[in-house]
Amino acid sequence: MRVFAGLGNPGEKYAGNRHNIGFMAVDAIASEHGFGPWRARFQASVAEGRLGSQKVLLVKPQTYMNNSGQSLGEIARYFKLTSADLTVFHDELDLAPGKVRVRTGGGHAGHNGLRSIQAHLGADYTRVRLGIGHPGDKAKVSGYVLHDFAKADYRDWLTPLLEAIGKAAPKLADGDAAGFMNRVALDTAPAKPARPTGPAPGDGAAPAEREAPASPFDRLAGLFRRD
């Protein structure tokens, strides 16, 4: 069994925060693939289902971001899983909004949710880093991640990103991280402008209505034409 965990903070107050994009991602997967109802277990909200050939448990820890590892450690002990069975979706300041990168292992880079997970399970789990951009000043980070996404974010990139993650999730469950990233990138790429279908300007085509200029003989004949 695979565990897909989205990181965030519980409660309506935090639902639209940038810090909660991990919750949003697993919600999108549950919706796209018809997972069972969310239930309260393991200090978390969990939903069971399948992605391709894999049985997957979706998890939204309810311990608040800084203690995410408590819930995931309890799940790992109950199902006798290791960190290699865990994939974590989380916000990433160092990626532009809408960008997605997948990696296994590494440090927590100051992310308190990842710090907690590593304290309980070690570092050898898969991280799906979801770009939210950086406020440009380290002192503004806390307020930035705990602020809601703007309406323009939903329109311009967030909703398409979440839909793409939902559709591509089976590739991730099967261990195809590169295929997952490629599918998400393709599904969120801006549409190319349509190419014109008519004749290009200056291609030599003349309007059908244009009349040929009058000859000198025609102009002379016109002088003697009677009304």
Active-site annotation, residues = 19
CA distance 80 to 28: 27
Q: Tell me which H or E stretch contains 59.
A: strand 54-61
Nearest to 61 by CA among 9, 96, 26: 9
Place of tokens 């991990």: 22
Q: Which two tokens stand for residue 152?
A: 């323009």
β-strands 39-41, 44-51 pairing: antiparallel
Angle between helices 159-173 and 177-188 (to 10 degrees): 160
Residue 7: other Cβ atoms inside 10 A: 29
CA distance 50 to 192: 34
Q: Order the strands of the 126-131 sheet from edge to edge.
A: 39-41, 44-51, 54-61, 2-6, 86-92, 126-131, 100-104
Residue 130: other Cβ atoms inside 10 A: 27
